[in-house]
Amino acid sequence: MDVFQTLILGLVQGLTEFIPISSSGHLVIGQHFFIGESNHLFLEWINIGTLLALLVYFRKKILQVAKDCIQNRDYRLARNIILTALPAGIVGYLLADFIDSVSFFGSLVTVTVTLALVGFIMVILERLPKASSVQSLDTLSAKRALIIGTVQVAALIPGVSRSGSTIIAGRIMGLKPALAAEYSFLASLPIMIGVTIKLFASASDRQYFIDNGAMLVLSNGVAFLSGLIAVGFLMNYLSRHGLAVFGWYRIGLASVLAIILLIQSVE
């Protein structure tokens, strides 16, 4: 990839990791049009920039959770974050090689279908039945936290969206949109940190960084800056609105992709 393509993919990662339109789906689309295929390892490496964006944006909340655990012996939110992160973390770890090697996870057809399906759910979300209202993250039950985490497993499929799946599940479990987004981002931290540790622990993954260091540093820098903007925008937007606009965007993009795939199939 050249510098322009690297910048674009870093921008796409930063903007779409937090806005619930699927960063993995958009990166699969971008890589297909830029280089003709999807590189899953590249997608994992540029998660570092968005991880840093989350740590910076939620630094006060993270410190408060740590303080609650150490000083106040209040482990409820920390427990819930771990419970929500566990299902996708375990499944992702066990199936990592399978996901890397199977074309389904890098397919434009897969992305097209999942963009449309999750988009439809977002459009009708506010009409769906929901559990009793939860006023703060500290009062979210362990059972509901685990249900949100189970739904998050679906986000291993490109096009679903990790933030989208957990915000949807959070809404159904009684969280208001902005609170569901905040919880979604906090619950993503253990998984993102785990992926980063896995990258540095693997000799082959480290070699990929050595071979592509300049490209990865540049794309992560862009992902960090755009990620900060995106998470701030989404938190502000969801304090007043729901997910429907993102659902319509997903459906529109899926429609465009379906037309492109149809044209390509008859050529």
pLDDT of residue 79: 95
Residue 167 and residue 177: Cα distance in Å, rounded? 7
Taking only the tens place, the pLDDT of each residue in 56-84 is: 999 999 999 999 999 989 999 999 999 99
pLDDT band at 216 (very low <50, low <70, confident <90, very high): very high
How many CA atoms lie within 13 Å of 176's alpha carbon, on the beta-carbon side? Answer: 12
The torsion angles phi and psi of 160, rounded to 5 degrees, stand at: -75, -50
Q: How far apart are CA 204 and CA 57, in angstroms?
A: 31
| Single pTM value for the model | 0.90
Q: Is the pLDDT of residue 251 over 80?
A: yes
Residue 40 pLDDT exceeds 80: no
The pLDDT value given to residue 25: 84
Q: What percent of the chain has pLDDT over 90?
A: 67
Is residue 17's pLDDT more than 90? no
pLDDT in the model for residue 267: 67
Which is higher by pLDDT, 256 or 26? 256
Mean pLDDT of 23-38: 75
Mean pLDDT, to the nearest integer, of 229-244?
A: 95
Digit-coded pLDDT (tens) for 134-192: 989 989 999 999 999 999 999 999 899 999 999 999 999 999 999 999 999 999 999 89
Helix spans in the chain (H): 3-18, 23-35, 40-45, 47-57, 59-70, 76-94, 96-101, 108-124, 142-152, 162-172, 177-201, 203-211, 213-238, 244-266
Tokens representing residue 234 in the block? 């989404």
